[in-house]
Homo-oligomer: A and B are copies of this chain.
Amino acid sequence: MAKKYVYMFNEGNASMRNLLGGKGANLAEMTVMGLPIPKGFTITTEACTEYNEGGKVLSQEMIDQINEAIEKLEEIAGKKLGDPKNPLLVSVRSGARASMPGMMDTVLNLGLNDISVVGLAEKTGNERFAYDSYRRFIMMFSDVVIGLNKSKFERLLDDYKESVGAKYDTDLSAEDLKTITKKFKDLYFEEMKTEFPQDPKEQLFEAAKAVFRSWDNPRAFVYRAMNDIPYSWGTAVNVQMMVFGNMGDTSGTGVAFTRNAATGEKKMLGEYLVNAQGEDVVAGIRTPNPIDRLAVDMPEVYKQFMDITERLEKHYKDMQDMEFTIEEGKLYFLQTRNGKRTAQAALRIAVEMVEEGLITIDEALMKVEPKQLDQLLHPVFDAKALKEAKPIGKGLPASPGAAAGRIVFSAEDAKKWADDGERVILVRLETSPDDIIGMAVSQGILTVRGGMTSHAAVVARGMGTCCVSGCEEIKLDYDKKEFTLGGNTYKEGDYISLDGSTGNIYGLDIPTTEPEISGNFEKFMSWADNRRRLQVRANADNPTDAAVALEFGAQGIGLTRTEHMFFEEERIQNFRKVILSDSVEEREKFLAGILPYQKGDFKGIYEVMQGRPVTIRLLDPPLHEFLPTTDAEYESLAKEMGKPVSELKLKGKNLHELNPMMGHRGCRLAVSYPEIARMQTRAIMEAAIEVKEEKGFDIVPEIMVPLVGEIKELKFVKNILVETAEKVMEEKGVKIPYHIGTMIEIPRAALTADCIAEEAEFFSFGTNDLTQLTFGLSRDDAGKILADYIDKNIYEVDPTARLDRTGVGQLMQIAVSKAKPVRPDIHLGICGEHGGDPSSIEFCHILGLDYVSCSPYRVPIARLAAAQAAIKNN
């Protein structure tokens, strides 16, 4: 049997969303519910996919089925498309599975041409209406289907209105509209060198194809990338009989929400325009009336409207966002969908609907998009100010929030300016650990290179600071202290604003507002906590971050990166001496100077966490990251170490690596310099024993060995750790339990997880490195590559942000299934950036991991995502 590409509304229902798109499925559902819906049909998303992949041609089967549907519609309507006396007019709208701005806009009044417009005028006895409809159609068709810029039509209309002294469209007479129609058609001819299409079938097929093509346009790619929507979904096309809000004062059109989309309050919110078509409401030319006025204007219609909206909300069990039209006193619904809402509103609606008995707790938990919770935790732009601002460019939304401040180009300048009370935005090609102090005092961070897990992105998320990364369009000149973007030059001290949730960059100072957390949040999150199986830990490198994490509900620390601790001023000097030493003895001497600081860090974290698990990772980055950067620093070191500057510099230079990400780092450092691992283990164990003695918390340190790829590597390092830990406990005369585990971040570790599980008590999937290596893609260099790849539909999402289940996930699966038989009680977690991404968290749930660990500001997201994963995979 031939594939069915076209469904009449009464052949579908809400469950057919994937095939009919959201709009089509809802129109079908409402039709089946018996609501007043103009009749029509839907061309499926499958047709879209076949069209786009098949050389952009509608197959004969599709054409036949569309023609057949039109005939049915003509029969129902008792009108014919293009009929000179009684023409059928239709609207054409796109409708994907998920709501998607950036898709094709609506085309109304399709079916009009120079002949049928006359018939319409005669049939309705309303010539003004007929030409109003025709001129609207020409403009919409030209804009939306053909791609002519709408503004030329609008200017033409505005000029004409001015010439006749008309303020609103409604001031125009039938003759005026006839003239405008003529002018529009002339404009079309001028631009296209061909007449405006007169064949309604041609109009219809062109419109349908334009909808399909709009799935393929750049805006759609960007939107899908940002919202994790796969290309393969496609969009459907809805063809629906026109009803007219522009037939006089008993006609009108409007939109409404069943609850307040900003606050969540249970109160109908909407507005409508008398004698208008849909786009007038959106365009904002006339000020619409609040929906309450309908009670006064048309009480009967109002009552019917309120009844239906209540029915819809109960039916869909969610706040509804609806479009309606009143044609000469008769109410029609054109669309309903679950309404978009702010995070605050989402929480309130979810909680109140449970209280109203409308939905279950599980349903409530599924109603809030985890990523939305970011809005509750970070500053946002003042909505009004934002509306007026135009972005000057766009990077990757690397760390959420809004930030505005003055441009600086170095960490030092950031510190200096911030100390002077300035708000600053740090702009860098990329950041390095050297920049951390500058990053900490900045409102936001903007980088030219690097993806969602670049150094800048990871550190900024950890700090809860807004960051836009990988804006490759920027041409940055450190020497001149300026950059160019979008044709303009921005100098040190100029104001810019960053939106870390969208990646938008603005060339001015946009005010921001701090978020508020309501009581609904606590209640909602406690539901999530009860529902999830995955534990949620946080990545925190110091007591402050640990405290933030705890406040956000973290159940432990899944990753303490010890290296960040080495950058603080008192220690870096000592650590540089370690690196530039010539012998084990010399290194041990300088390490002894770091031990008290390192121990202090761990004690601080243990105290905050009060006995909750804390996983501490041994030193990970290549040593050259810690090297001096200035001559002065080398000179001061040389003096203190009693060595020639030239010797130290040569030693430093020799530490340089071509591919540091795959260089001398991780446990490789512990193999080459066991004394560093010994010092760290001593600090970890002494801190645990002292906190137990001083505060009474039972600390069970989890020592994590990074970058293991071979079991003998882990054995070697584990021997050092165990030896040191036992020695410390003997010295202190105290025995405490401790665990030794490893990161799984090297493909070979995953492939040999059966061996590695023999020695490791826990695995923590380091999916940042694992993704880099599985893809062979350096996250610090991925900016341009990812941009090209997403543009060209090679990657649907950034794999450094959302875990790639196919490749990286396959390795994780291999690791889990090899490790479990060897050590059934092995504790499994993830501490890569994916630990805070909802889709990735779901995958971790499916894999059977025990916990996810993410940056503190992502903990609430992870808690909710874990609950949703449990619900979805029940």
Give residues in A with beta carbon < 8 Å to B: 429-430, 448, 475, 477, 650, 654, 657-664, 668, 671-672, 707, 709-710, 712-713, 716, 745-748, 751-752, 769, 772-778, 780-781, 784-785, 788-789, 792-795, 804, 806-808, 810-811
Kindly list chain B residues whose C-beta atoms are within 8 Å of the C-beta of A775: 709-710, 746, 748
Q: Smallest CB–CB gap between A458 and chain B, Å? A: 14
Chain B residue, CB-CB nearest to A653: B429
Report chain B residues within 8 Å CB of A745: 776
Contact B776 A751 (CB under 8 A): no
Residues of B within 8 A of A477 (CB): 650
- Separation in Å of the A622 CB from the closest CB of chain B? 9
Is A659 in contact with B781, judged by CB distance below 8 angstroms?
A: yes
Q: Complex: how many Å from CA A777 to CA B622? A: 12
A467 to B749 CA separation, bound complex (whole angstroms): 32
Assess A657 versus B806: contact at CB under 8 Å? Given A716-B794, A747-B811, A785-B668: no
Q: Is the CB of B662 within 8 A of A792?
A: no
- Name 29 A/B residue pairs within 8 A (Cβ), A-sorted: A475-B654, A477-B650, A658-B781, A659-B780, A661-B662, A661-B776, A661-B778, A662-B662, A662-B772, A662-B773, A662-B777, A663-B781, A668-B788, A668-B789, A709-B776, A712-B794, A713-B794, A746-B775, A746-B776, A747-B776, A748-B807, A748-B808, A751-B774, A751-B806, A751-B810, A752-B806, A752-B810, A773-B773, A773-B774
Q: How far is the CA of A806 from the CA of B752 in the complex (A)?
A: 7
- Which of B657, B769, B788, B795 contacts A776 (CB under 8 A)? B769
A661, A751, A775, A776 pick with most chain B CB within 10 angstroms: A776
Contact partner, A662, options B654, B747, B776, Cβ 8 Å: B776
Please determine whether B658 and A661 come into contact, CB atoms closer than 8 angstroms.
Answer: yes
Q: Is the CB of A671 within 8 A of B781?
A: no
Q: Please name all residues of chain B whose beta carbon is closer than 8 Å to the beta carbon of A663 when the two chains form the complex.
A: 778, 781, 785
Inside 8 A of A658's CB, which chain B residues have their CB? 430, 660-661, 778, 780-781
* In the bound complex, CA of A811 to CA of B807 (Å): 12
- Nearest-CB distance from A722 to chain B (Å)? 15
Minimum Cβ distance to chain B for residue A684 (Å) = 23
Query: Closest Cβ of chain B: how far from A819's Cβ, in Å?
Result: 15
Question: In the complex, A274→B793 CA distance in Å?
Answer: 84
Closest CB-CB distance, A217 to chain B, in whole Å? 18
CB distance from A793 to the nearest CB of B (A): 7
Question: A650 to B475, Cβ gap below 8 A?
Answer: yes
Q: Which residue of B lies closest to A477 (CB)?
A: B650
User: Which residues on B sit within 8 Å (CB–CB) of A668?
Assistant: 785, 788-789
Residues of B within 8 A of A772 (CB): 662
Q: Which residues from B are CB-within-8-Å of A789?
A: 668, 671, 713
Contact B664 A662 (CB under 8 A): no
Partner of A672, one of B448, B707, B785: B785
Number of copies of this kind of chain in the complex: 2
Closest B residue by C-beta to A745: B776
Choose one: B716, B751, B769, B778; the contact of A807 (CB below 8 Å).
Answer: B751
* Alpha-carbon separation in the docked complex, A107 to B873 (Å): 70
Q: Please, how many angstroms separate the alpha-carbon atoms of A637 and B580 in the complex?
A: 41
> How far, in Å, is A312 (CB) from chain B's closest CB?
40
- Those 7 A-B pairs whose CB atoms lie nearest each other, nearest first: A748-B807, A659-B778, A662-B778, A663-B781, A746-B776, A657-B781, A658-B780
Q: Across the interface, which residues of B come within 8 angstroms of A746, CB to CB?
A: 774-776
How many whole Å from A758's CB to the nearest CB in chain B? 14
List of B residues within 8 angstroms of A769 by Cβ: 776
Whether the Cβ atoms of A793 and B712 lie closer than 8 Å is yes
B residues within 8 A CB of A671?
A: 785, 788-789, 792, 794
Question: In angstroms, how far is the closest chain B Cβ from the Cβ of A813?
Answer: 10
Whether the Cβ atoms of B709 and A777 lie closer than 8 Å is: yes
CA distance A746 to B747 in the complex (A): 11
CB distance from A718 to the nearest CB of B (A): 12
Since A748-B807, A748-B808 are in contact, a sample of 16 more A-B pairs with Cβ atoms closer than 8 Å, ordered by chain A residue number, is A658-B661, A658-B778, A659-B781, A661-B662, A662-B776, A663-B778, A668-B785, A671-B789, A671-B792, A709-B775, A710-B807, A716-B792, A747-B811, A748-B804, A769-B776, A773-B774
- Pick from B662, B774, B780: contact of A748, CB below 8 A: B774
Q: What B residues does A716 contact at CB under 8 A? A: 792, 794
Contact status B747-A807, CB under 8 Å: yes
List of B residues within 8 angstroms of A672 by Cβ: 784-785, 788
- In Å, the complex CA distance between A551 and B443 comes to 67
Question: What is the CA–CA distance of A747 and B662 in the complex, to the nearest angstrom?
Answer: 15
For A478, the closest partner residue in chain B by CB is B653
> Which residue, A748, A751, A792, A808, has most C-beta atoms of chain B within 10 A?
A748
B781 touches A662 (CB 8 A): yes
What distance in Å separates the Cβ of A740 from its nearest Cβ neighbour in chain B? 17
In the complex, chain B residues whose CB is within 8 Å of the CB of A747: 747, 773-774, 776, 807, 811
Q: How far in angstroms is the closest Cβ of chain B from A440?
A: 22
* Chain B residues, CB < 8 A from A475: 650, 654
Residues from chain B with Cβ under 8 Å of A660 in the complex? 658-659, 781
A664 touches B712 (CB 8 A): no
Q: Looking at A707, A781, A804, A810, which has the most chain B CB atoms within 10 Å of its CB?
A: A781
Cβ-defined partner of A707 (8 Å) among B657, B709, B752, B776: B776
A726 to chain B, nearest CB (A): 16
| Cα distance, A713 to B776, chains bound together (Å) | 14
How far apart sit A747 and B777, CA to CA, in the bound complex (Å)? 11
Which one of A475, A661, A662 has the highest number of Cβ atoms from chain B below 10 Å of its Cβ? A662
Most B CB within 10 A of own CB, among A775, A780, A792, A804: A775
A712 to B789, CA, bound (A): 10
Q: How far is the CA of A794 from the CA of B716 in the complex (A)?
A: 8
Contacting residues, chain B, for A778 (C-beta < 8 A): 657-659, 661-663
Closest Cβ of chain B to A56, distance in Å, is 15
A795, B710: Cβ atoms under 8 Å?
yes
CB closest residue in chain B, given A480: B646
Complex: A709 Cα to B785 Cα, angstroms: 13
A665 to B748 alpha-carbon distance, docked (Å): 23
